[in-house]
A and B are shown apart, each in its own frame.
Chain A
Amino acid sequence: NAGVTQTPKFRILKIGQSMTLQCTQDMNHNYMYWYRQDPGMGLKLIYYSVGAGITDKGEVPNGYNVSRSTTEDFPLRLELAAPSQTSVYFCASSYSAGGGDEQFFGPGTRLTVL
């Protein structure tokens, strides 16, 4: 089991460029999440998905889009990159969202927008 994998590990974007952060999990988890973490801050939820074809906004969704066409994949799209989107992005998954289900995190993508 690879768990949760993310690509790329690092990326530098120019203002206005677009990119997709990839996330794949092989644990057959229904729930997947995208977080961002700014220096010295906790994790902020961007978007989450409760299953293929179903997504919803988290706390900080502006400037991002997601899709969930399969159970395994949950890509995050940045359409017009802005310096405020410089952050570390973590993808996570869990079997369910209720109760005490652990969220498993990917290794993260460090994004810089210049």
Chain B
Amino acid sequence: QKEVEQNSGPLSVPEGAIASLNCTYSDRVSQSFFWYRQYSGKSPELIMSIYSNGDKEDGRFTAQLNKASQYVSLLIRDSQPSDSATYLCAVNSHSGAGSYQLTFGKGTKLSVIP
């Protein structure tokens, strides 16, 4: 059973601070890692993807991947109230017969306090 673990939160940060979201995964051969943002009552939307060890930056968002530790994180700099949402970590792993599946964590709820 492939597992993706996240702290459920809620994680509360003041406006302008850095929010740090963490995720660990169990499948050592996973190759692709994603962060989805989900506003309450809405569908998930992709905000970051990362495939190689190290950091990947996109605007205020930085994804960090350490395959040896089976750990992926998301940093949000200069957090805004509009960043308040649940962040889902997803890991793409091979499921046999040439297909892949995304396994999602339960999500971390982030609240940015004005």
Stretch binding the partner chain, chosen from B13-21, B58-66, B71-79, B94-102: B94-102
Q: Count chain B residues whose beta carbon lies closer than 8 angstroms to a beta carbon of A.
A: 24
Question: Which residues of B are found within 8 Å of A41, using beta-carbon distances?
Answer: 106
Do the beta carbons of B44 and A90 come within 8 Å of each other?
Answer: yes
Do the beta carbons of A42 and B105 come within 8 Å of each other?
Answer: yes
**Residue in contact with B46 in the complex, picked from A45, A102, A108, CB distance below 8 Å:** A102
Q: Is the interface of B mostly helix, strand, loop or mixed?
A: strand
A103 within 8 A of B: yes
Question: Which residues of A are found within 8 Å of B45, using beta-carbon distances?
Answer: 105
CA distance A50 to B102 in the complex (A): 14
Do the beta carbons of A99 and B32 come within 8 Å of each other?
Answer: yes
CA distance A105 to B36 in the complex (A): 11
Decide: A45 near B106, CB < 8 A? Known: A102-B46, A105-B43.
no
Question: Which residues of A are found within 8 Å of B88, using beta-carbon distances?
Answer: 42-43
Decide: A102 near B49, CB < 8 A? Known: A42-B88, A107-B42, A108-B43.
yes
Question: Which residues of B are found within 8 Å of A90, using beta-carbon distances?
Answer: 43-44
Chain B 72-114, CB-CB to A under 8 Å as 1, else 0, gives: 0000000000000000100010000111111011110000000
Do the beta carbons of B106 and A50 come within 8 Å of each other?
Answer: no
CA distance A90 to B42 in the complex (A): 10
Q: Which residues of B contact A (CB under 8 A)?
A: 4, 8, 31-32, 34, 42-46, 49, 51, 88, 92, 97-102, 104-107
The 4 closest A-B pairs by CB, nearest first: A42-B104, A105-B43, A43-B104, A97-B100
Q: Which residues of A contact B (CB under 8 A)?
A: 33, 35, 40-45, 48, 50, 56, 58, 90, 97-100, 102-103, 105-108
> Besides A99-B31, A102-B34, A105-B43, 5 other CB < 8 A contacts?
A42-B4, A48-B99, A98-B99, A102-B46, A107-B42
